[in-house]
């Protein structure tokens, strides 16, 4: 007997059950995957630091030598304490003299001095610009006319390039997807970029997700 056009179609309970199981499974994957990757990243980072710091600790001071189990995170604690002590020493007169002496020695090694000076300049510049860098998210036409990309304005153009590009250029970092740690440095006129009403975190989420996520609201509604 056929159903009339006005009667609703009968849905088999088995099909509804399978659909519910499938939907719940994929929902569980979406919920568990970020948690699992976050936990894995933290554990991997702790293990990476421990394997490199713990061998430097004298056996008398290393709890792993007398505890029945290894103490995870000890390397990170030691690294934090060591960096704090280094910062405290660098803040006094004697510490500054020691650092200056060390830099003088490094300056006499041809290849090492170039690497050290370049890295030091990058770190010092980033520390000085920490309140300004990556605060503006922009939209620019790249890599050709008609295509657009999201970028982060890092600073006004300075140095040797500014001697040739003098008309209001800024440095724009254009990250790649899904790995935003790599990308391209572009020199663009400020008037040619459009500042977006987005936080750097929202811009990074959009880049990492390939455009699927732009804010915390999007994460909650997915």
Domains and CATH numbers, the chain: 136-221 (2.30.30)
CA 203 to centroid of chain Cα atoms: 12
pLDDT 10s digits, 72-81: 888 888 888 8
pTM listed for this prediction: 0.54
pLDDT of residue 114: 80
Give the whole-angstrom CA distance, residue 102 versus residue 90: 12
pLDDT of residue 7: 54
- Sheet containing strand 183-189, strands side by side: 183-189, 169-175, 148-156, 136-141, 194-195
**Quick check: 10 pLDDT over 60?**
no
Helices (H), the chain: 13-53, 74-90, 93-107, 110-128, 160-164, 200-208, 216-221
> pLDDT confidence of 220, banded at 50, 70, 90?
very low
pLDDT of residue 221: 40
The four Cα atoms 90, 93, 94, 97 give a dihedral, to 10 degrees, of 80
pLDDT of residue 102: 81
> pLDDT confidence of 38, banded at 50, 70, 90?
confident
**Quick check: 205 pLDDT over 70?**
yes
**Quick check: 30 pLDDT over 80?**
yes
**Quick check: 14 pLDDT over 90?**
no
pLDDT 10s digits, 83-108: 888 888 877 877 788 878 887 887 78
Share of the chain above pLDDT 90, in %: 17
Q: How many residues does the chain have?
A: 222
Q: What is the mean pLDDT of residues 204-216?
A: 81
Q: Tokens for 101?
A: 């002496």
Give the whole-angstrom CA distance, residue 44 versus residue 36: 12
> pLDDT confidence of 191, banded at 50, 70, 90?
very high
Q: Within 13 A of 190's CA, how many CA atoms are on the CB side?
A: 11
């Amino acid at each position: 007997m056929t159903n009339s056009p006005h009667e609703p179609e009968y849905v088999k309970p088995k099909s509804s059950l399978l659909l519910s199981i499938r939907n719940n499974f994929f929902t569980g994957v979406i919920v568990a995957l970020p948690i699992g990757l976050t936990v894995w990243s933290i554990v991997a980072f702790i293990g990476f630091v421990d394997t490199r710091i713990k061998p430097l600790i004298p056996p008398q001071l290393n709890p792993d030598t007398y505890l029945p189990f290894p103490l995870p995170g000890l390397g990170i604690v030691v690294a934090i304490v060591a960096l704090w002590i280094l910062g405290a020493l660098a803040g006094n007169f004697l510490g500054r003299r020691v650092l200056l002496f060390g830099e003088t020695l490094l300056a006499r090694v041809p290849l090492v001095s170039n690497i050290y000076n370049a890295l030091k300049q990058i770190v010092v510049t980033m520390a000085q610009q920490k309140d300004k860098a990556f605060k503006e998210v922009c939209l620019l036409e790249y890599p050709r006319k008609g295509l657009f990309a999201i970028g982060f304005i890092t600073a006004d153009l300075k140095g040797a390039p500014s001697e040739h590009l003098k008309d209001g250029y800024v440095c724009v970092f254009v990250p790649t997807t899904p790995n935003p740690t790599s990308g391209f440095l572009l020199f663009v006129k400020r008037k040619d970029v459009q500042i977006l009403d987005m936080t750097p975190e929202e811009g990074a989420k959009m880049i990492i997700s390939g455009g699927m996520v732009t804010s915390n609201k999007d994460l909650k509604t997915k």
